Amino acid sequence: MHQNNPQDYLDKALLIHDQQAVNQAISTIALQLNADYATEPPFVLCVMGGGVFFTGQLLSQLNFPLEFDYIHATRYRGTSGKVVEWLVKPKNSVNNRNVLILDDILDAGITLKAIVDECEQLGATNIKIAVLVEKQLDIIKPVQADYVGLMVPDRYVFGCGMDVYGWWRNLPSIYALQD
């Protein structure tokens, strides 16, 4: 279902989580992080480009000091891929640091597992993952998120940082393509 008009994707999509549900999920994660990192601030890594929406909404709700950087690792070329490609690795040292990875979605977990492995190899001592959504899949994922905002079905979802063929990362709600 690859179309040329981005509006067609949205017009034919099914709303999964509205803006209010997304905002509430982000606030709930913020409360958990504020409690968990009150005494030991983390080094925060935003996974580009999907994690930027979630990260932007979340950071203003965190009430502890933090250091911030971004990383870019992807296995998607179009809609899928098998090999994780590093576009940007952590620029600042994560050695002997608490690291908090922020991403839009935990899908099959392959990319997030590669990110965790890289942080471990670089010497991070404690690594946690927060995702806006986790896709419900009938597989054992190689990594688990420590903080999950919302669950989504095993469908092609977009909005809130997740794209549909490059479009609609900016939507404040989460949608799924219809079969």
Cα–Cα nearest to 40, from 59, 71, 67: 67
Q: What is the mean pLDDT of the chain?
A: 92
Considering the entire predicted model, what is its pTM? Answer: 0.93
**What is the Cα 130 distance to its own chain's centre?**
7
Please say if the pLDDT value at position 75 is more than 80. Answer: no
Which residue is associated with the tokens 């608490």?
A: 98
pLDDT digits (tens, 9 = 90+) for 12-55: 999 999 999 999 999 999 999 999 999 999 999 999 999 999 99
Mean pLDDT, range 58-67, rounded to an integer: 96
Residues 164-171: contacts with CB under 8 Å, at least 24 apart: 164/6, 164/9, 164/13, 165/2, 165/3, 165/9, 165/78, 165/79, 167/6, 167/9, 168/6, 168/9, 168/10, 169/49, 169/50, 169/52, 169/53, 170/53, 171/10
Q: What confidence tier does 3 reach under pLDDT thresholds 50, 70, 90?
A: low
35, 115, 116, 156, 171 from 142: Cα distances, Å: 27, 12, 10, 20, 29
CA 46 to chain centre: 8
**Sign of dihedral through CA atoms 11, 15, 21, 26?**
negative
For 101-136, write each residue's pLDDT tens digit: 999 999 999 999 999 999 999 999 999 999 999 999
Q: Give the pLDDT of residue 80.
A: 55
Mean pLDDT within 144-172: 97
| Domain edges within the chain | 19-152
One of 2.30.30.90, 3.90.1150.10, 3.40.50.1260, 3.40.50.2020 is the CATH number of 19-152, namely 3.40.50.2020
pLDDT at 120: 94
Instruction: Quote the pLDDT of residue 136.
Output: 97
More confident residue, 139 or 4: 139
Is residue 92's pLDDT more than 90? no
Structure tokens at 76: 């998607």
Higher pLDDT, residue 170 or 3? 170
CA distances to 3, 8, 15, 84 from 12, rounded to whole Å, are: 11, 6, 10, 31
